[in-house]
């Protein structure tokens, strides 16, 4: 796959939290326009992988490239501004909104510098 066609690339990604190394060196490529599913048993590291990609857990080792840039170790708020965010399952969503409305809220990022 040519580099310009890659939207997301993981190289030997390792993610740990607490004393548990949940992701032990995953390689993955996702092309522009490609739909990819990450499947596995409970406790296999799916959510941990996604949290590492999205800056919600620290990367122990490896590299993450998104839209051509090395984003390894970037904070979550910077990744959201680039269009990379995680939509949680069940918990942490707006219960009164539809799935589509929740996704739209996740795509919204403030551009002003005001806090509050």
| Lookup: tokens for 95 | 């219960």
Other Cβ atoms closer than 10 A to 46:
16
3-77 maps to CATH 3.40.50.300: yes
Burial class (CB in 10 A: 0-12, 13-18, 19+), 29: middle
CA distance 65 to 57: 16
Pairwise pLDDT comparison (99 vs 40), residue with the higher score? 40
Average pLDDT, the chain: 86
Contact 61, 24 (CB under 8 A): no
Domain ranges of the chain: 3-77
Write down the pLDDT at residue 5: 85
Q: Please give the pLDDT value at position 107.
A: 66
| Residue 4 dihedral angles phi and psi, to the nearest 5° | -70, -15
| pLDDT value of position 11 | 98
Query: What does the pLDDT look like over 56-103, one tens digit per residue?
Result: 999 999 999 999 999 999 999 899 888 888 876 666 667 788 878 877
């Amino acid at each position: 796959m040519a580099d310009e066609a890659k939207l997301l690339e993981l190289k030997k990604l390792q993610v740990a939290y607490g004393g548990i190394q949940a992701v032990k060196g995953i390689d993955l490529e996702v092309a522009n326009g490609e739909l990819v599913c990450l499947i596995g048993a409970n406790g296999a590291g799916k959510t941990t992988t996604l949290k590492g990609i999205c800056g919600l857990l620290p990367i122990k080792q490896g590299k993450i490239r998104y839209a051509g840039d090395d984003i390894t170790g970037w904070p979550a708020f910077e990744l959201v501004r680039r269009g990379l965010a995680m939509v949680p399952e069940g918990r942490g969503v707006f219960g009164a909104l539809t799935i589509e409305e929740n996704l739209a809220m996740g795509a919204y990022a403030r551009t002003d510098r005001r806090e509050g």
